[in-house]
Amino acid sequence: MEDKLVEAIKNSVTSISKSTLEALQAARDKGSGSARVQLEAMLEAVEVSEKRKVPVCQDTGIPTFYVRVGKSFGYMSGLGELKDTLRNSVRRATEEVPLRPNTVHPITGKNRGDNTGRHIPYIEWSITDGDKIDIHYLPKGGGSENMSQLTMMTPGKGLTGVKEIILDRIATMEGKPCPPTVVGVGLGGGANIAMNLAKEALLRPVGERHEEDEISELEMEMNEKANELGIGPMGVGGKTSVLDIHIDYAHRHPASYPVGIIVQCWANRRARVTISSDGSVEVLQ
């Protein structure tokens, strides 16, 4: 199990998902000038990293796991050990891949050197339908994370206000998060819920729409309008500023309308490990 997790972590930082790769290739094919040059450099970096099995970016992120446990999974008694297994897999990957040590104490500035620390790796647990465990790994880089934003919008602004917040944030980020980006948006709930939804939305493959038509249509509209901003790859201008925008929501208090935004850089790194009830383990991306 631990070996599979180390493999997944390595895959997440040394390769990119098929949906992300295809989106970058499509953007390159319709790009020109400086925008095309930037996209070609990104695709070349992916090719080199996959060939040499080295990270596609030197910032290998803060380790974050989303653990979705199927309620019919047959080995619930073993879940108590999973937290330690996840932590150990990060330590091993830091040395074996290697990963850049990124976990720093916020007061003392001390770096433990193994990408672990208080609440790190961060683990988000949830119970789902089914009989499997899905472990999603999200290595979150600092440049894109610094672009995160929470807006406690006046509820009366409604959907028009939501659209303005999303587009304004993408416009003001410019090239800082290494676009073309994938943008996660969380609506409603409370402040923490909106931000959690925004980050978890990043786990969706590029091009995969929300299951509800109203949200799916909003995603497509925002994606189109964001690309009309002309920010382009790495902020040099062009037709592709975002690869996709993923939106999720929670019902909210009548007096509150949180809008959370969290961004992934162009590499959109992630990996997944699936544990079946028969004990088999599969690494996916």
pLDDT tens for 253-274 read: 999 999 999 999 999 999 999 9
> Are the CB atoms for 8 and 136 separated by under 8 Å?
no
In Å, what is the CA distance from 38 to each residue of 43, 53, 135?
A: 9, 22, 33
- Taking the C-alpha atoms of residue 62 and residue 256, their distance in angstroms, rounded to an integer, is 30
**pLDDT less than 50: residues of the chain:** none
- Taking the C-alpha atoms of residue 6 and residue 231, their distance in angstroms, rounded to an integer, is 36
Domain extents for the chain? 2-9+56-141+269-284, 143-264
Rounded to an integer, what is the distance from CA 184 to the centroid of its chain?
Answer: 8
- Taking the C-alpha atoms of residue 4 and residue 120, their distance in angstroms, rounded to an integer, is 19
In Å, what is the CA distance from 66 to each residue of 127, 133, 206, 207?
A: 11, 10, 18, 21
Tokens read off for 146 = 């610094």
Q: What is the pTM of this model?
A: 0.96
Summarize pLDDT for 159-198 with one digit per residue, the tens. 999 999 999 999 999 999 999 999 999 999 999 999 999 9
β-strands 242-250, 181-188 pairing: parallel
Tokens read off for 48 = 């080199």
Q: List, in order, residues 6 or more apart from 9 with CB less than 8 Å away.
A: 63, 89, 90, 93, 97, 99, 137, 139, 271
Q: What pLDDT, on the 0 to 100 scale, is given for residue 77?
A: 65
Helix H or strand E encompassing 64: strand 62-70
